[in-house]
Every structure is written in C-alpha cells, then in structure tokens.
Amino acid sequence: MALIRWRPKEIDPFKELLDFHKEVSNIFDTSFGDLPDKLFQEGTWLPNLDVSEDKNNFIVKMDLPGLKQEDIDISVSGNVLTIKGERKKEEESKDKNYYRRERFYGVFSRSLNLPNYVDTNKIEASYKDGVLEITIPKTEVAKPKQIKVKVK
C-alpha cells in the first residue's frame, strides 16, 4: 500500500473575494432596489454641502440654488445641527414637452453632529447667491494655544 501525502485544499483568495463582492452587491441590490429614484420622484432631495474648519470656526456651505431665505430653516438641538427647506416646483405649462428633468424639487433635511467644543449660542448663518454659509465658533478650550519652549 502506497502512502499519499495529504495536502489541504488550495484556496484562491481572489476568487473568494470576488464571490464575497458579488454577494454583498446582491444584498444591496435586492434590499434597496430603486429606492433613490423613488425618493426623488416623491419630492425629496439632498443638497450638497461642504464642512471645513479653521482655527476658530467650523464652516458649513450648502448649495441651495433657487431657494428664498424664508424657505430655509436652521436649528440646533443638543449637538445636532439640522438644515431643512423646500424648493417649490415651478408651474408646468401643458404646452411644454420635457426631454430631460434633472432639477429636484420638494423638501430636504440634512443633519450634522457637532463636536462638544462648539458654542451653539453663537452660530451665524448667511445666504448669498444660492449658497448657505453657517459659521459655528469653537469654544476657547478647543482653540490651539502656542507654547514657547525655553532653551537653557
């Protein structure tokens, strides 16, 4: 009787990774389907925003073209900044045929978690040329301090 050396099954890590990727994609495709399309059809949209920081403030800029100042609501609850608004749909003429519609209408709401070291009582907002800018000041504790090192 001849002895045959046992070898574990050879594993192709790339094939397993590809199979895993296919499974995850399938889960998302079947779970959410065409959810974004349905949201936009029902009058919900998400305007783009940027969040930046300097040594004294956090700055939030949000593109809101076509909105009036009274259509925008900004609130702070705890450490959550919420920006809500509505872009009203233009009256449609029955004489027009649309070939493409990419501008979204309806209500939106965006919320941002703020760090603990901001002063929510001093938040300021301005709206110009379709861009909302919110300035959120940091507290004195969060501001960087310069410490001089003495050489002896």
Q: What is the pLDDT of residue 75?
A: 95
Q: How confident is the model at residue 9 (pLDDT cuts 50, 70, 90)?
A: low
84 and 22 housed in the same domain: no
pLDDT over threshold 80, residue 128: yes
* Helix or strand holding residue 101 (H, E): none
Question: Which residues, 6 or more positions from 58, have their beta carbon under 8 angstroms from its beta carbon?
Answer: 51, 52, 114, 118, 135, 136, 138
Residue 24 lies in a domain: yes
Structural domains in the chain (count)? 2
Q: What is the pLDDT of residue 98?
A: 76
- The pTM score is 0.63
Torsion over CA: 65, 71, 73, 74 (sign) = positive
When the pLDDT of each residue in the chain is averaged and rounded to a whole number, the result is: 80
pLDDT over threshold 70, residue 96: yes
Residue 25 lies in a domain: yes
Q: What is the pLDDT of residue 39?
A: 47
Interatomic CA distance for residues 84 and 69, integer angstroms: 12
Q: What is the pLDDT of residue 11?
A: 60
Question: Which residues, 6 or more positions from 55, have their beta carbon under 8 angstroms from its beta carbon?
Answer: 143, 144
62 and 33 housed in the same domain: no
Which amino acid is it at 103? R
85 and 33 housed in the same domain: no
Q: Exposure pattern of 42-57 as b/e (b: 16+ CB <10 Å)?
A: eeeeebeeeeeeeeeb
Residue 152 lies in a domain: no
Angle at 101 between CA 99 and CA 103, to 5 degrees: 160
**Pairing relationship of beta strands 124-128 and 57-63 according to DSSP bridges:** unpaired
Q: What is the pLDDT of residue 28?
A: 62
Please compute the mean of the pLDDT values over residues 17-45 and round it to a whole number.
60
The 10s digit of each residue's pLDDT in 38-65 is 444 445 678 999 999 998 999 999 999 8
The 10s digit of each residue's pLDDT in 70-88 is 999 999 998 899 999 998 8
Give the range of the structural domain holding residue 32, as residue numbers without chain letter.
16-42
37 and 82 housed in the same domain: no
Residue 120 vs residue 33, higher pLDDT: 120
Q: What is the pLDDT of residue 41?
A: 47
55 and 74 housed in the same domain: yes
